[in-house]
Structure 1
Amino acid sequence: MDIPVVLAALRRRARTAGAEPLLTHYDLDAGGRTELSVATFANWVAKTANLVEDLGADSGLVGLPLAVERPGHWMTLLWPLAAWQRECAVSVDVAAADLVVIGPLDPRPVLPGATLACSLHPLGLGLRNLPTGVLDFTTEALSQPDLAGTLPSAASAPAWIDGATVLSHAELAETPPVGGRVLVRPSDALGTLRDAVLGPLLGGGSAVVVEGTADDARLAALRASERCVE
């Protein structure tokens, strides 16, 4: 067993081109823009992986309903890689999950196991006054070390689960590589993850993810200002 191809690509690129942009996130409705370099994205992934370990979820199942609610947010997009770093599978459902990741306004009751709430703030600011049993992701993650070990995973091991769809690490590594800078409009959870993170990592490119209301003219202006190739 070895580390998943996507994680190997992130590690290699953080070492050789860490200052390059990897993920730029726009929330047009809230007015926010956040740019994460390869190194910054890798740092958030490492801290989150350490948090997964601290919460006792290694080699378990991470429930990520946040990927259905906000598939394009940068906080959402780092979670799968952090989970894979600790040999976890990721499911958009919460059934049987060892760890559940929700948004700031998610009304679901606290479930067995650890529950983390993501603020979705452009700068990653934390949440206050959370219900008993719900932890603030930002507070917990930022207290973690900057480096994290990576547990090996078989290429055939489940990596992404969405209902009856179960994809292995090898199948995710078949995502078409993205070599340039592309503008991504969020779609479904898996499609957005492939377009915004997996493809750019595998191909050496970067993504500009645009959430919120925008007409064709606004998108064209963003594509030009961010120097996207498509």
Structure 2
Amino acid sequence: MIPLRPVSVCLERLVRTAGGAPLLTHYGPAGERTELSVASFANWVAKTRNLADELGVDADAAVDLPVLADRPAHWMGLVWPFALWQAGASVHLGAPAADVAVVGPDAPAPVAPTTIACSLDPWGRALADLPAGVLDFSSEALAQSDAAASTPGAADDPAWADAERTLTVADVAALEPITDRVLARPATAWDATALLARAILGGGSVVFTESDADPARTAASEKARVLA
């Protein structure tokens, strides 16, 4: 039997073997470009996992990610599923009674007992003047330790749930690996999360774009293969 290699374990291995390699490149709507190496992405994941621990997020918590539903290509939202998986927790997209909700910067307001707002700034800068009951993701995460041990769930533990699918840790680990560099414009939270997970599983990298620029030209400059 092939042993289970959860995506969080594969990310740890990549940090050791190819930490400086690009993992996630994001082009915003205006063409602004942000590139995270394997080590940089893993660092944000570790800090976010430690923040989740500080907030009491455990395997039984319902964590919703509206920010990822609204802007699936943005790196700040994509940090969250991998941080939750590292902690043995899961994503409940669209949960009607979430314990924790991670929202975007547009008119953030408390929508759960714990609500966290992401600036979606290309460089991860903090939000100012947030209302009571809303925490700023960048400020809270950057105050956390850079180190976090991976404690992924068991094979049959839940990893992801949305209106269309319910997946386990083993389901995510069984995604087809991506071994090269690909460019895509993901339409849904799961599309983006799955592509990034596949790149981590296979040692590849992804370029996600929200720009109206010609994808073929962007792919040529990034030396990436365009995905439909």
Q: TM-score, normalised by structure 1?
A: 0.92
**Unaligned 5+ runs, structure 2:** none
Q: Name the CA distance, whole Å, in 2 between partners of 1:164 and 1:179.
A: 27
Structure 1 equivalent of residue 211 of structure 2: 212
Instruction: Indicate yes or no: 2:113 matched with 1:90.
Output: no
User: Does the Cα contact within 8 Å between 1:4 and 1:152 map onto a contact in 2?
Assistant: no
Q: Name the CA distance, whole Å, in 2 between partners of 1:105 and 1:15.
A: 37
Structure 1 equivalent of residue 199 of structure 2: 200
Q: Name the CA distance, whole Å, in 1 between partners of 2:76 and 2:112.
A: 23
User: Does the Cα contact within 8 Å between 2:181 and 2:205 map onto a contact in 1?
Assistant: yes
Structure 1 equivalent of residue 75 of structure 2: 74
Displacement of 1:4 in angstroms is 6.0
Q: Name the CA distance, whole Å, in 1 between partners of 2:210 and 2:111.
A: 29
Instruction: Indicate yes or no: 2:17 matched with 1:21.
Output: no
Structure 1 residues 156 and 136: alpha-carbon distance in aligned structure 2, compared to 1, 3 A threshold: same
Q: Name the CA distance, whole Å, in 1 between partners of 2:174 and 2:4.
A: 15
For residues 7-62 of structure 1, what are the alpha-carbon distances to aligned partners after superposition, in whole Å with 9 as ceiling and x for unaligned? Answer: 011000001110000000001x2331000000000000000000001111122221
User: Does the Cα contact within 8 Å between 1:65 and 1:94 map onto a contact in 2?
Assistant: no
Structure 2 equivalent of residue 119 of structure 1: 119
User: Does the Cα contact within 8 Å between 2:181 and 2:224 map onto a contact in 1?
Assistant: yes
Displacement of 1:110 in angstroms is 1.2
Structure 1 residues 25 and 117: alpha-carbon distance in aligned structure 2, compared to 1, 3 A threshold: same
Partner-residue secondary structure (3-state), 1:140: helix
Q: Name the CA distance, whole Å, in 2 between partners of 1:100 and 1:20.
A: 31
Displacement of 1:106 in angstroms is 4.5
Displacement of 1:220 in angstroms is 1.3
Partner-residue secondary structure (3-state), 2:84: helix
* Residue type of the alignment partner of 1:156: D
User: Does the Cα contact within 8 Å between 2:19 and 2:38 map onto a contact in 1?
Assistant: yes
Q: Name the CA distance, whole Å, in 2 between partners of 1:26 and 1:178.
A: 20
User: Does the Cα contact within 8 Å between 2:63 and 2:90 map onto a contact in 1?
Assistant: yes
User: Does the Cα contact within 8 Å between 1:94 and 1:100 map onto a contact in 2?
Assistant: no
Structure 1 residues 3 and 95: alpha-carbon distance in aligned structure 2, compared to 1, 3 A threshold: farther
Structure 2 equivalent of residue 33 of structure 1: 33
Structure 1 equivalent of residue 145 of structure 2: 145
Structure 1 equivalent of residue 191 of structure 2: 191
Q: Percent identity?
A: 48
User: Does the Cα contact within 8 Å between 1:64 and 1:90 map onto a contact in 2?
Assistant: yes
* Residue type of the alignment partner of 1:222: T
* Residue type of the alignment partner of 2:162: D
Structure 2 equivalent of residue 54 of structure 1: 54
Q: TM-score, normalised by structure 2?
A: 0.92
For residues 63-91 of structure 1, what are the alpha-carbon distances to aligned partners after superposition, in whole Å with 9 as ceiling and x for unaligned? Answer: 11112100110011111010111221101
User: Does the Cα contact within 8 Å between 1:4 and 1:153 map onto a contact in 2?
Assistant: no
